């Protein structure tokens, strides 16, 4: 329509564009007006402990931070929460090698009869080649069993790993200590899910919320509820926490599943399958929230097939441009004139 100079094709293109936009808008309004499908429901409790970044990893405050999460969880459980979610890195101990911590958390879920999702990193010291670390999430069942162990698949460049490390660190000689202790995590390789009262749940971590293709894998694996745990304390009171939340709303829409978000300092939120934020908390305030979540029991075309539609649009656009170029070349070749 932009490059076409003939009046009739320009009008036809303008009309077609208007009809397409109106159709998309009408379909969106119709979809939003319909009730959300329900195949079940669960009461979810979100815990936001609001621990400042410079206090999060101080050894002398580690158990105090855990106690704060425990206290907020008890309050949520008393209000009927069946699934409670803690933020990313909420537990600053290795679960597998910290028996007192494991016993404390297992006692909590067994006594309260809840599922507990919490951010907790993993370490593998058995590898003869080198020690490996993963940014992780886990879920304990009401029986105290580990019902989910997930390792973050999309790591933050220069925050959780160093791209082309052999070059940028001169083979490990430059900033080797910082890289090993802070930014040398191994990416996970599976969108692991767990079961909550017969329904599948997928938990992804922080930065992964901006990747549609990564989050889709959880829905493709059957997840009826998406859980996003994050620590946005790094961003302070900038616009970044709100931008991060905005990304998460699209992940709910694409997969047509509800999404709950537990953020260390905020913004914790509950997002409906149509992308509407039904609740969000403030920044830098300790809080807990219990809300009923409906399992929709549906799976979208995107969850099933990924970016097939996008690829088809790209191919159709290339074909249209190619056809237009060919027709234009044909008209110019056929031009003639008299001297």
Active site residues: 88, 152, 206
CA-closest candidate to residue 214, choices 260, 271, 255, 274: 255
- DSSP H helices, the chain, are 7-33, 53-56, 62-78, 99-112, 165-168, 176-181, 212-220, 240-255, 301-305, 308-333
What is the chain's Cα-based Rg? 25
Q: Which residues contact 84 (CB under 8 A, 6 or more apart)?
A: 44, 45, 46, 47, 73, 76, 77, 114, 115, 116, 117
Q: CA 114 to CA 147: how far, in whole Å?
A: 12
3-class SS at 274? coil
Q: What is the DSSP string of 65-104?
A: HHHHHHHHHHHHHHTT-SEEE--TT---S-GGG-HHHHHH
Residue 181, SS3?
Answer: helix
- Tokens for 176? 């080797």
């Amino acid at each position: 329509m932009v490059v076409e100079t003939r009046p009739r094709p320009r009008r036809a293109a303008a009309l077609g564009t208007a009809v397409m936009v109106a159709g998309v808008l009408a379909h969106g309004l119709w979809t939003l007006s319909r009730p959300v499908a329900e195949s079940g429901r669960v009461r979810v409790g979100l815990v936001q402990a609001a621990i400042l970044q410079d206090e999060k990893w101080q050894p002398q405050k580690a158990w105090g931070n855990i106690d704060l999460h425990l206290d907020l969880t008890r309050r949520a459980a008393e209000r009927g929460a069946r699934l409670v979610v803690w933020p990313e890195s909420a537990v600053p101990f290795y679960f597998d090698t910290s028996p007192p911590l494991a016993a404390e958390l297992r006692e909590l879920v067994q006594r309260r009869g809840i599922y507990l999702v919490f951010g907790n990193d993993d370490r593998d010291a058995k590898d003869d080649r080198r020690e490996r670390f993963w940014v992780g999430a886990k879920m304990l069942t009401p029986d105290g069993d580990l019902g989910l162990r997930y390792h973050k698949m999309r790591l933050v460049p220069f925050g959780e790993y160093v791209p082309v490390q052999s070059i940028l660190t001169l083979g490990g000689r430059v900033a080797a200590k910082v890289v090993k202790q802070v930014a040398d995590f191994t990416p996970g390789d599976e969108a692991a899910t767990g079961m909550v009262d017969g329904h599948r749940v997928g938990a992804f971590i922080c930065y992964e919320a901006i990747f549609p293709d990564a989050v889709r894998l959880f829905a493709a694996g059957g997840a009826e509820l998406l859980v996003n745990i994050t620590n946005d304390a790094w961003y302070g009171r900038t616009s970044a926490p709100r931008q991060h939340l905005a990304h998460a709303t699209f992940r709910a829409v694409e997969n047509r599943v509800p999404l709950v978000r537990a953020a260390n300092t905020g913004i914790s939120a509950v997002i409906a399958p149509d992308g509407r934020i039904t609740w969000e908390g403030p920044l830098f305030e300790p809080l807990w929230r219990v809300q009923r979540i409906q399992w929709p029991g549906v799976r979208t075309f995107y969850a099933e097939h990924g970016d097939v539609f996008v690829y088809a649009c790209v191919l159709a656009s290339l074909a249209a441009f190619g056809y237009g170029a060919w027709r234009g070349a044909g008209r110019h070749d056929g031009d003639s004139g008299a001297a």
